[in-house]
Amino acid sequence: MASTIILGDHEFYLGPKWVLSDTYLLNRGPWGIDLGYRWNMVQRNKIQGFANLEYQAAFLRPAGNGSKTVVQEMHGAYGLQWKLSDKLKIGNSIGLGGVVEKSKLLNGTTYRLDGFSFLFKLFLNYRLERSPKDK
């Protein structure tokens, strides 16, 4: 569940991130943060277009090797969201960015990997409280 601050067409959000893969389970896997800025550019009826910048960090300990790993990603993206009701929205975003992975291995050496990454994100937003704009 993310917390969002809305200032006109601009949104700032911060929430948890869970990484799912065939190596990790949700209750035992890596966790992290998802921090972002969204500019809501165009709205037509129930469809809204936006651009966003997003920072994600995941903190994990891969099975079997005892290392501590931090994976950081930064993306520029665009997307669409559909207003299903006054409180419920569903959407997606697609973007490009970079990734940095750092691991501290058991023998004390540090491993670093820099690269290019893609973002494909599906999301569901539920507003617990109506904003003054909606009242």
Asked whether residue 27 carries a pLDDT value surpassing 50, the answer given is: no
Global confidence as pTM? 0.75
For 45-61, the pLDDT digits (tens) are 899 999 999 999 988 77
pLDDT band for 128, please (50, 70, 90 cuts): confident
Q: Name the helix (H) or strand (E) containing 89.
A: strand 88-104
Q: For tokens 């990790």, name the residue.
A: 24
Residue 113 per-residue DSSP state? E
Spell out the domain ranges in the chain: 3-126
Q: Kind of pairing, strands 68-83 and 47-60?
A: antiparallel
Class of the domain covering 3-126: mainly beta
Asked whether residue 29 carries a pLDDT value surpassing 90, the answer given is: no
Which regions of the chain does DSSP assign to beta strands (E)?
Answer: 3-7, 10-18, 31-44, 47-60, 68-83, 88-104, 110-126
Tokens of 129: 């409280």
